[in-house]
């Protein structure tokens, strides 16, 4: 075969498909790995916040609060309200919900703030707690 004949034996549909399929598979794997790393980071943030929130059991007990960690959510529960921080995509959504005006088993969000990181989430939770204990 001459060089010209080799060049004319160009890419086939099969070759193009296999190349495209492999490229997409590599992109999917990269996205999956990035998502897994983000979930690990969010879970670590939730655990760190829970540790900070529950570090002083006497403080919680004096204010009739209980601290709970469920996957990406840290919550402070009181008979009248719930303060919760949910970590997703590196940010935390902190909410204050009123249990007094909600139907049994649900809470009606009253305040919500999105923050960056554990320290900011802790600060907002403290602000919401101070609002409820004035």
- pLDDT exceeding 70 applies to what percent of the chain? 89
Q: Is residue 109 part of a domain?
A: yes
* 65: phi then psi, degrees, rounded to nearest 5: -115, 150
Q: Does residue 13 form part of some domain? A: no
pLDDT digit string (tens) for the chain, length 134 residues: 455 555 557 889 999 999 999 999 999 999 999 999 999 999 999 999 999 999 999 999 999 999 999 999 999 999 999 999 999 999 999 999 988 775 655 555 788 999 999 999 999 999 999 999 87
- Total tally of structural domains belonging to the chain: 1
In a domain, 101, yes or no: yes
Q: Could you tell me if residue 32 is inside a domain?
A: no
DSSP3 helix / strand / coil % (the chain, rounded to 5): 50, 25, 20
Is residue 92 a part of any domain in this protein? yes
82 in a domain, yes or no?
Answer: yes
Look at residue 10 and tell me if it is in a domain: no
Flag whether the pTM goes above 0.85.
Answer: no
Domain that includes residue 124, residue range: 40-132
């Amino acid at each position: 075969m001459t060089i010209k004949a080799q060049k004319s034996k160009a890419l086939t549909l099969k070759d193009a498909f296999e190349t495209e399929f492999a490229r997409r598979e590599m992109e999917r794997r990269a996205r999956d790995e990035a998502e897994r790393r983000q979930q690990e980071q969010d879970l670590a943030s939730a655990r760190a916040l829970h540790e900070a929130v529950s570090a002083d059991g006497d403080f919680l007990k004096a204010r009739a609060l209980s601290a709970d960690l469920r996957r990406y959510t840290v919550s402070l529960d009181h008979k009248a309200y719930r303060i919760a921080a949910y970590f997703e995509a590196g940010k935390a959504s902190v909410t204050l919900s009123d249990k007094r005006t909600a139907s049994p088993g649900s809470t009606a969000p009253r305040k919500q703030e999105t923050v960056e990181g554990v320290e900011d989430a802790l600060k907002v939770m403290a602000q919401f707690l101070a609002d409820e204990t004035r």
